[in-house]
Amino acid sequence: MKEINPAATVFLGDTNTTIGALAAAQLNIPIIHIEGCWRSYDWRMPEEKYRTIIDHISDVIYTYEDEYKQKGIAEGLNPKNIVVTKNPTVDILERFYFSQKEKLEKKATKQFFKKRGIQDKDYFVMTCHRRENVHIRKSFQAILKLVANAPCTVYFPASYRTQKIIKSQNIKLPKNLLMVPPVGYEEMLILMTHSKAVITDSGTLSEESCILNVPCINMRKSTERPEIYDAGGTVKFDPDKPEEYTPEIVYKKLKKITGKNWKHTLGDGKASERIANDIILRLREGRLRGFLPENNHLPIARSFIEDGIKI
């Protein structure tokens, strides 16, 4: 980074890689965070820690809702440095699903599903990777019990870390759970859109299900994306409280929303353009440094006070 000396560094999301922002901060390189100000307030999540850290050292933050911006402001972030753009996941699906739907549908043949041991429109597709779900035995067992009570086969492209935990702890999987290695994005889109429902703890997958109008069971105690529930196409399952979220209740709710159409408020397909245009404009106008004293929104004058000694 020191050798390249970029005008700015851009970080997306809340994964381990965002901690690379600390290196940029030490070199006084402006930091841009896309997907900022998200909060689930579940401190068990590594992602919650990462996004909190990077937001507080970012010069410019792109967030997707004014609701999220207000959360950042409440933490003391400078409102002048936070730009609301809506969610680029909508843009991604416009590009890679809706505009290519005909091509994807041609791939969704009888052979496609037969090869995977499932029947078209008669399976759930599942992902489960969050540490608070797979590393806490009680929570993982609650998830597997939910799966065992599913009314059909559950097709499970499992992350390698999840597979490792299942193997190391000798966890017995339900008979209706078909675990396979991770799959590519195009294949996942076909699996999602031809499933009866999605079961996931993935934030992005729950968004995509909402946008694609596929019923979803969201296996999270809390979420940084409440809009998926606002739309009415997502059922909540808290693995930490299985006695309150029994399989019977969850699947009854899922049945109620199946076949319904809902409208989401996640975006309009232009978020990526807004982000790119704003970055370019800030670069051209020299407005990438949000931490300059003159840009500060707090009463900082006394930090720059003179000594007051007369000679």
DSSP 174: P
Do 72 and 82 meet the contact criterion of CB atoms below 8 Å apart? Answer: yes
**E strands in the chain:** 9-12, 31-34, 60-63, 82-84, 123-127, 153-157, 177-180, 197-200, 216-218, 234-236
- Angle, to 10 degrees, between the axis of helix 185-193 and the axis of helix 89-96? 90
User: Cα–Cα distance between 203 and 200 in angstroms, integer?
Assistant: 8
Catalytic (active site) residue 129: yes
Residue keyed to tokens 């050798």: 3
In eight-state DSSP terms, residue 173 is P
> Are the beta carbons of 57 and 22 closer than 8 angstroms?
yes
**CA-to-CA dists, residue 235 to 67, 90, 118, 219, angstroms:** 22, 21, 23, 9
Chain centroid to CA 89: how far? 9
Burial of 183 (0-12, 13-18, 19+ CB in 10 A): middle
Residue type, 178: L
- Locate 285 and state its tokens: 């106008």
Q: Are 257 and 235 in contact (CB under 8 A)?
A: yes
Tokens (6 digits) for 204 = 């992005």
Rounded Cα distance between 290 and 71, Å, is 18
Among the options 33, 129, 194, 264, which is catalytic? Answer: 129
Positions marked catalytic: 129
